[in-house]
Amino acid sequence: MSTSTGPGTGSQPVSPSPSALDLRLDEMSSARRLLRRLIQVMGAQISPQERLNRMVRLIASDIVAEVCSAYVLRGGDYLELFATEGLRSEAVHNTRLRIGEGLVGLIAAQGAVFNLSEAQKHPGFAYRPETGEDEYHSFLGVPIVYGGRVVGVLVVQNEKPRHYAEDEVEALQIIATVFAEMFASGGLIDHDEFPMQLGADVGPERLEGLRLVEGVALGQAVLHQHQIEVTRLVSNDPDAEAERLDKAMASLRDSVDELLKLPEIADGEQRDVIETYKLFAQDAGWRRRMTEAVKSGLTAEAAVRRVQEETRLRMSHIPDPYLRERLHDLDAIADRLLIHLTGRRRIVDTARLPRHVVLVARTISPAELLEYKRSDRLRAVVLEEGSPTAHVTIVARALGIPLIGRVPNALAKIGAGDQVAVDSDNGQIFLRPGEDVELAFAQSIKARAERRRIYEMLRDQPAVTLDGMRVGLHLNAGFLIDLAGLETTAADGIGLYRTELAFMTRNKFPDVAAQTELYSRAREIAGEKPIVFRTLDVGSDKHLPYWNFPLEGNPAMGWRSIRMALDRPAVLRTQLRALVRSARGKSLDVMFPMIAEVAEFVEAKQLLDMELERAETNGQEMPTKVRVGTMLEVPSLFWQMPALLQRVDFLSVGSNDLMQFLFACDRGNPDLVGRYDVLSPSVLCFLTELVERCRVAGVSLSICGEIASKPLEAMVLIGLGVRNLSMTPSDVGPVKAMLRSLRCGRLSTYLRQLLDLPDRSLRVRLQNYALDHGVQLHI
């Protein structure tokens, strides 16, 4: 038995002899003739069922197969035999296979080609007696793909065992492309039978997703689903189609160059993103696959669509988020290329957009986002996919566009033109809201603008409590564009620079020169304000595409962060070397993540000392001052405080990980959301002891997790004695307004009275305290 996942699997490319080349051209001509005959059947004035019956007969005759069968996906979960030549006629519309059941179901589930000389010996074979297929040995099945989803399966079978040739496989795949287009247009089956997603409901509904870029917006839904219809599939002149493809590719590259001239992406990661996008438009492998498809007899449009559907199918089976993101970029480039083949220059007709646009998409490329932004009507974006490090997120953040990702079935639930209210701060979307909700959102947008005005007035005011206690307000950052917040908020510096995010958006590990340039650029933007660089913190839910990560039952507590870095010291030394080089003549603050014991910190610091010694030996200009600290995220480190505090210059609490480890509570488990509160007596007792130990040792302590970003929680931290907080830029204004209305000494006295209470949470008591004492938690 032999299997294949695609044409040519397992073979090496060879230069064909003249006779082999002639045979190849003959086979291409034969495939084109078959395609033309199939298209003639499409135009015949007959019922869809008879049209499908004639087509399978033509295919069986041309490929010299005893059987040709077409299966159609029904209801999204099973495949139904819709037409056959060779199997028993009574099986039509009676034989059904679930996704993953039998060879046909496996093809639909995997989106793979099955090429078998002995089908019945395959472990996935499922016999259906009503078909009478027991006499057939060889089996070739290909998926029918439309819109990145398998919508059917096309199968040929023969009595004698045989392995179908590469050209036969390719011919059937091309025919499947024709079937897909005709399924969508209603040319093969009744349009009601085509498994498209159901339309949106008409009543109000609330959806939830992941906050990627904060903000609030109200507008009309515009569905980003430009499925360009390919009407001409077969060409008699491959050379002319190849020339059309060349011209469209040149036009595509010119349009990307135009985007690079936009002032919004003049600098920073957003420009790097579009430069990367440009590289995809020049990808030689992508171009070669399309050219080969043109040579097989397809039009330029059909060739682009075929390669695009193959890419979409790969996306659906790739779990790695980085690789999926890169394939999304390639998919978006294909859409743009199809647009250029139609003679248009832009995907978005901005003149036809509503005044206030909430863009809804499965995913969207940075270039497409910029085209919508050109209209000055884009208010928010809702995606079915998306991630914090996705290219579109980086650009949206730079443009200040609210963005919510990972909203399941957004395109199915949101109708074009629907009124949509987006609360990205809380990851919520309100569909077709009533007048009261619309009014509330309109007021919220107005109030948000007013609050922003008030916070801007506070920008140059000192972060000092009413009783004179100075609190350092710092920013969390991960990209260069985040550093712009230093200017807009007048924050004291960067309390946490997540260096791993830049690693996650690249396709290879950045060398010393690349990292040095990045860190130097960050210092240039920050000016004289300090930056605390946290070393590489990957693993768990943060993967690098160029590293193989082990499969772990509990990755949050597995091989990640400093554990990984110490096991790969060359990686850590590369980063430390770049950090030292970037700090020539300046101070250097380095922080190690997820230290669980003092020995780990000592080992990591030794590597830093080695790099400092190396730089000095090489005559390099040295940092004026070096401060070394650690994150406190693992509770075990708390019990080594005396030994640790002798060795560190500063300590920073990563409250997100610390809280889940303190409570043995997976923060990603939706069933545990809200079960434990950071404002519980246990947490406050822990922090009280930590603050006191750092005070006695003279070690600076800061909080850089989510707990520092919320006015109520920040109020409590200040009352416990924390004097440095690090947060996102949008949180600086609310926290500063709160602390400037707070009397710290009075709150500290009150908190000491609460520490021994048995309560699960002190939140209500603390909210009441703020209300009674005029502390501004909300403006």
Q: Mind listing the pLDDT tens digit for each residue in 514-530?
A: 999 999 999 999 999 99
Contact at 8 Å (CB) between 621 and 585? Answer: yes
pLDDT of residue 197: 39
User: Tell me, what's the pLDDT at 454?
Assistant: 86
Read off the pLDDT band of 199 (50, 70, 90). Answer: very low
Is the model's pLDDT at 383 over the cut of 70?
yes
Instruction: Identify which of 565, 521, 524, 559 has the alpha carbon closest to the alpha carbon of residue 540.
Output: 559
Buried b (16+ CB within 10 A) or exposed e, 437-471: beeebeebbeeeeebeeebeebeeeebebbeebeb
Task: Tell me the mean pLDDT in the region 528-540.
Answer: 90
DSSP code, position 611? H
pLDDT at site 344: 62
What is the sign of the dihedral through the CA atoms of 269, 428, 732 and 441?
Answer: positive
What single DSSP character describes residue 67?
Answer: E
Query: Taking all residues of the chain, what is their mean pLDDT, rounded to a whole number?
Result: 83
Mean pLDDT of 299-311: 82
Q: Report the relative pairing of strands 403-405 and 210-213 from DSSP bridges.
A: antiparallel
Strand residues in 436-563 grouped as ranges (E): 472-477, 494-498, 531-534
Say whether pLDDT at 11 is over 70: no
**Confidence check: pLDDT of 152 > 60:** yes
Instruction: Note the pLDDT of residue 369.
Output: 84
| Own/partner long-range contacts of 438-447 (Cβ < 8 Å, ≥24 apart) | 438/218, 441/216, 441/218, 442/218, 444/216, 445/216, 445/217, 445/218
Q: In sequence order, what E strands does 580-647 have? A: 587-592, 625-632
- Find which of 88-102, 250-264, 305-319, 739-753 is predicted with most confidence, using mean pLDDT: 739-753
Local structure of 8: helix, strand or coil: coil
pLDDT at 613 over 90: yes
Minimum mean pLDDT range among 152-161, 162-171, 311-320, 683-692: 311-320
Cα-Cα-Cα-Cα torsion 639, 644, 646, 650, nearest 10 degrees, comes to -120
CA within 13 Å, CB half, 733: 20
List, for residues 481-503, the tens digit of each pLDDT value.
Answer: 788 889 889 999 999 998 987 77
Geometric angle at alpha carbon 554, from 550 and 559, rounded to 5°: 45
**Sequence-distant (≥ 6) Cβ neighbours of residue 498 within 8 angstroms:** 476, 477, 478, 534, 537
pLDDT at 268 over 60: no
pLDDT of residue 15: 34
Residue 552 has pLDDT above 80, yes or no: no
State the average pLDDT over residues 575-581. Answer: 96
pLDDT of residue 1: 31
Mode of pairing for the β-strands spanning 216-223 and 419-423: antiparallel
Question: What is the rounded average pLDDT of the residues 185-206?
Answer: 52
Mean pLDDT of 420-435: 89
Please state which of the ranges 28-42, 213-227, 710-724, 752-766 shows the lowest mean pLDDT.
28-42
Specify the amino acid at residue 252.
Answer: L
Contacts of 315 (CB under 8 A, 6+ apart): 148, 324, 327, 328, 331
**Ramachandran bin of 75, using left for φ above 0, alpha for ψ from -120 to 50, beta for the remaining angles:** left
Smallest CA-to-CA distance from 168 within 197, 206, 138 is with: 138
Please tell me the predicted confidence (pLDDT) of residue 455.
87
pLDDT class for 103, splitting at 50, 70, 90? very high
- For 746-760, write each residue's pLDDT tens digit: 999 999 999 999 999
278 — pLDDT class (breaks 50, 70, 90) = low
pLDDT (mean) for 136-151: 86
In this prediction the pTM is 0.60
Residue with structure tokens 């057939």?
136
The closest of 702, 596, 705 to 656, measured between CA atoms, is: 705
pLDDT-derived band of residue 12, with 50, 70 and 90 as boundaries? Answer: very low
What is the end-to-end Cα distance of the chain in Å, rounded?
A: 72
pLDDT band with cut points at 50, 70 and 90 for residue 653: very high
Eight-state DSSP code of residue 620 = P
What percent of the chain is modeled with pLDDT above 90? 41
Give CA–CA dist 663/661, Å, rounded: 5
State CA 285 to chain mean position distance. Answer: 23
DSSP string, 177-226: HHHHHHHHHTSSS-GGGS-PPPPPPSS-EEEE-EEEE--EEEEEEEE---
Is the alpha carbon torsion for 250, 255, 256, 260 positive or negative? positive
**Predicted confidence band of residue 602 (pLDDT cuts 50, 70, 90):** very high
Instruction: Give the CA radius of gyration of the chain.
Output: 31
Strands across the sheet containing 78-85? 96-98, 78-85, 67-74, 149-158, 138-146, 114-116
Residue 150 above 80 pLDDT?
Answer: yes
Mean pLDDT of 271-289: 67
The pLDDT-based confidence of 31 (bands split at 50, 70, 90) is: low
The arithmetic mean of pLDDT across residues 442-452, rounded, is 82
In this structure, are residues 719 and 684 in contact, taking their beta carbons and an 8 Å threshold?
Answer: no
For residue 470, pLDDT over 90 is answered with yes
Question: Is the pLDDT reported for residue 738 higher than 90?
Answer: yes
For range 241-257, the mean pLDDT: 84
Task: State the Cα–Cα distance between residues 659 and 639, nearest whole angstrom.
Answer: 16
Confidence of residue 274 (pLDDT cuts 50, 70, 90): low
CA angle 571, 572, 575 (to 5 degrees): 90
| pLDDT tens sequence across 384-426 | 988 776 768 877 887 789 999 999 888 878 888 888 999 998 8
